Amino acid sequence: MGKPAFDYPLPVGQINLPDWVELEESFREIFARNYYTNHGPLVREFDERLADYLGVRHAVCVTNGTVALMVALASLDLKGQVIVPAFTFPATAQAVTWAGLEPVLCDVDPTTHCLSAELVEPLIGPNTAAILGVHLWGQACDPQGLGVLSEKHNIKLLYDAAHGLGCARANQSIASMGELACFSFHATKVLNAAEGGCITTNDDYLAGVVRTARNFHVSETFTKAALRINGKMSEAQAAMGLLSLKQLDTNIAANRGRYERYRTGLADVPGVSFIDYAGDDKSNYQYVVLQSAHRDSIVAYLKTHNVLARKYFSPGLHQSYPFKERRHVGNNKFSVTDTLCASLLQLPTGQRVSVRDVDRICELVAHCPTSA
């Protein structure tokens, strides 16, 4: 075998880091204040800046995206079942279990890879309390159709928007879809706060409940919450998050450059295809997702060249512990999820990947032994 195309592993973390000098300055200020948690000035500022950026009345920061989901579900004070997609990151469904509810797995649409009203409606029964849609790859998850369903059946609609920061459909921010939306600031996401997340809402009452539920200390609000947790974001996280937010538009523009370069570079390669965003979708271009019947050989071949493409997500939740042991719940039809799990891969992007790197990765995919 010849020399790998890259002599260092190309990250799949899609990492975007803020400026080190500014971060150091921010940390000096935290030390000078001698105040590093419990709704400090940086967390308050981050809450406000995020709400502004996302075009929503309230953003409430928490420790991470999973805790955001747990706090959001608990704040709605639900009982019974929550419909979630089988094709998602495990946290979506596990958070439902943590909140004392029962996840009901639903297959996804073959074009959008998200839930749709058509797929969800047959699963709604007397115990259904909510629909938890996932805006996968930053595409809006049928906000209109699911909104109609939630009204018709008098159930709640909330969203896992971990992929969707900075995304919109027809100029409506993903942050203002559903009653609550949950974001993640993990390293793999477009905005990184050294772990972190937030919950957004336009509902003043719900925002109060969420603010109470995220901590055990004297609440900033006096709204009652059924269940509370220590989900507070620290000042250190907020420092990182604020600087990442400053760079977000630049990072999204650079992501878009890389994404378009991938699309052009792979346009003539037979057997591989991209997912298409809806015409009125605004994306953060954080996910370069490719579909191919030869997915496993492409991933293996890229790995020999130090390009760590990911099988994302695989396997589906219906095939994963603990959900695979609960196959009686839902309708047990997961053929689209199974196909996606077997054919999708995610290519590296983010600050550490140059446009020149993208060109080399496209060449590798084009010359992959079994992709032609």
Block residue for tokens 């996280």? 237
Q: Which is nearer to ligand PLP, 132 or 364 (CB)?
A: 132
Q: Which is nearer to ligand PLP, 186 or 318 (CB)?
A: 186
Q: Which is nearer to ligand PLP, 64 or 292 (CB)?
A: 64
Measured in residues, the chain has a length of 372
> For ligand PLP, how many residues bind (rule: CB under 6 A)?
14
CB of 356 to ligand PLP, least distance (A): 28
Tokens encoding 262: 């991938």
CA-CA distances (angstroms) from residue 137 to 21, 152, 176, 277? 32, 28, 17, 9
For helices 355-366 and 295-304, the axis angle rounded to 10 degrees is 120
Among 16, 64, 200, 237, binds ligand PLP (CB under 6 A): 64
CA-CA distances (angstroms) from residue 227 to 103, 116, 167, 255? 19, 30, 30, 39
CB of 64 to ligand PLP, least distance (A): 4
CB of 92 to ligand PLP, least distance (A): 5
Number of Cβ atoms within 10 Å of the Cβ of 137: 24
Q: How far apart are CA 201 and CA 154, in angstroms?
A: 19
Q: Does 89 bind ligand PLP (CB under 6 A)?
A: yes
Q: Taking contact as CB under 6 A, which single stretch among the options 59-67, 205-213, 299-307, 317-325 is the one that binds ligand PLP? A: 59-67
Among 40, 166, 197, 350, binds ligand PLP (CB under 6 A): 197
Q: Which is nearer to ligand PLP, 233 or 302 (CB)?
A: 233
Q: Taking contact as CB under 6 A, which single stretch among the options 62-70, 117-125, 200-208, 353-361 is the one that binds ligand PLP? A: 62-70
CB of 198 to ligand PLP, least distance (A): 10
Q: Taking contact as CB under 6 A, which single stretch among the options 70-78, 157-165, 247-255, 320-328 is the one that binds ligand PLP? A: 157-165
Number of Cβ atoms within 10 Å of the Cβ of 341: 21
Q: Does 88 bind ligand PLP (CB under 6 A)?
A: yes
Q: Taking contact as CB under 6 A, which single stretch among the options 53-61, 87-95, 139-147, 213-221 is the one that binds ligand PLP? A: 87-95
- The residues that bridge with 292 in the sheet, in sequence order, are 272
Nearest to 42 by CA among 28, 30, 54: 30
Among 39, 113, 156, 163, binds ligand PLP (CB under 6 A): 163
Q: How far apart are CA 144 and CA 117, in angstroms?
A: 9
Among 51, 72, 83, 91, binds ligand PLP (CB under 6 A): 91
Q: Does 16 bind ligand PLP (CB under 6 A)?
A: no
Q: Taking contact as CB under 6 A, which single stretch among the options 149-157, 160-168, 241-249, 347-355 is the one that binds ligand PLP? A: 160-168
Q: Is 208 exposed, middle or buried (0-12, 13-18, 19+ CB in 10 A)?
A: buried
CA-CA distances (angstroms) from residue 287 to 30, 38, 232? 34, 34, 28
For helices 355-366 and 248-266, the axis angle rounded to 10 degrees is 30
Print the binding letters for residues 206-245 with ligand PLP: x by CB under 6 A, - otherwise: ----------------------------------------
Print the binding letters for residues 255-294 with ligand PLP: x by CB under 6 A, - otherwise: ----------------------------------------
Among 14, 184, 192, 215, binds ligand PLP (CB under 6 A): 184
The vertex-83 CA angle with 168 and 141, nearest 5°, equals 15
Q: Which is nearer to ligand PLP, 64 or 234 (CB)?
A: 64
Among 47, 160, 235, 281, binds ligand PLP (CB under 6 A): 160
Binding site for ligand PLP (CB under 6 A): 64-66, 88-89, 91-92, 134, 160, 162-163, 184, 186, 197
